[in-house]
A and B are shown apart, each in its own frame.
Chain A
Amino acid sequence: MSTLEFSTDDLVINEDGRVEINNSAFAKGLIDHVKGLDPGTVGLFDNCNCSKDKVISRVALKGVVPALKLKLDPGTVGLFDNCNCSH
């Protein structure tokens, strides 16, 4: 899988539980990548328990660009701990 290059050191979780990305290069690259986003490209994961069809997602890129709205399939969520390691 190709990923956007950044590191966990670029991330801060603030007191409200928000993610702040403190890497302007990553932020700009992210914007380039998500322009003209086709929601249909999602589909890597199929363990969704959600009832909502789509989640409008926004990534707040602190101090770099305005908040961005994306349409994303919430295929990454699951309320329960059904991994291979948990009870």
Chain B
Amino acid sequence: MYRVDSSQELQVSFFSNQTLELIVLPTEQCNFRCTYCYEKFIGRFLSKESVDSIKMLISKRAPELSQLRIGWFGGEPLLAKEIVYEISNHALQEAKRYKNLLFESGMSTNGYLLDLETAKRLIEYGVNEFQISLDGPSEIHNKTRVKKDGTGTFDKIYSNLLELKNSSLLFKINIRIHMSKEASSYLDAFVASVSEEFSNDDRFRIFLKTIDQLGGDNDEDIGIITGDEKVELEHRLSNIVKKNNVELINPGSSYICYAARPTSFVIRHNGNLVKCTIGLDDEENQIGKLTDDGKLEIYQHKMRPWLEGAVKLDRGKLQCPRRTLSSL
């Protein structure tokens, strides 16, 4: 048998037309004003025309797809949950119609509006993976992940998590714990507490992530953890998670960004297409527009730089194409 180099097989997989990944921002408004956030909170909601267009695109592609992935992002996507329900339900119905089509969907949400009733309905429509971030214990979290009126959010998010834990719903939740200078001295105890709380429940996973400067107004004030300090803290916290029998998400150096995949598209609330959910307004990120008839108008010259990682199997460009685009 001719043995295929796995890297070539991987390369081929990038260009498969049986997969389609849409990351949809149904709104870029948010009920939070996290102090380190880079978003501008512009505009309102995805228009009815754009919602219909996305549904048209899904229906058109469904017969040939083996995998349709829809990621919900924002802003806070649950501020636009009727849109999430409508598009998800449409995708789910198409997946029922075409037996070869696997529909998978997840949401990056701040968790504040993810009550049991909302979660039930989302899961019913196939949205069953969630990523929810905590900045540390309440005394830290409530200083940085604040609502628009400046009040804290920890208790509500945590009670939603506990309510989901106590339910019989089937889902996966990534609890993303942010590491920052401000939080570092609290994190050992906090990670231990969260790990104990969600131990032996494989619906919950923990992901450790540093806070980074991503272009927000307060970037200068963010206490970033880097270098050896980051490595040591991450190592120590990882061991706490593992000791408590909770799955630790560790993308490591093998991570491939969605933005590096040729068949992955981010659809903004205004119908603009970008590749990366950071730098939403960066010129290099503007790769096209969703038309009202279920089509993607792609600006090929803008798209191509994002595909270099997949073409060359360049690990750096696969991990973060944005970082390696020269003009960014």
Contact = CB atoms under 8 A, between A and B. Distances in A.
State the main secondary structure of chain B at its contact with A: mixed
B214 A12 contact: no
Given A13-B262, A17-B20, A77-B21, A87 B38 contact: yes
B137 interface: no
Contacts, number: 214
State the main secondary structure of chain A at its contact with B: loop
Interface residues of A, number: 58
A44 B296 contact: no
Contacts of A41: 3-6, 9
Interface in A1-60: 1-4, 6-9, 11-19, 21, 30, 33-38, 41-47, 49-52, 55-60
B12 A34 contact: yes
Interface string B7-19: 1111111111111
A10 to B, nearest CB: 8
Interface string B47-81: 00000000001001100101101010100000000
Interface of B: 1-21, 36-38, 57, 60-61, 64, 66-67, 69, 71, 73, 100, 102, 104-106, 108, 129, 131, 172, 174, 176, 207, 209, 212, 214, 249, 251-252, 254-258, 261-263, 265, 276-278, 291, 295-298, 300, 303-305, 307-308, 311-313, 319-320, 322-323
Given A17-B61, A87-B38, 12 more contacts: A3-B8, A3-B11, A3-B312, A8-B311, A19-B15, A42-B10, A45-B254, A47-B254, A57-B18, A74-B67, A80-B71, A85-B323
Interface of A: 1-4, 6-9, 11-19, 21, 30, 33-38, 41-47, 49-52, 55-60, 70, 72, 74-87
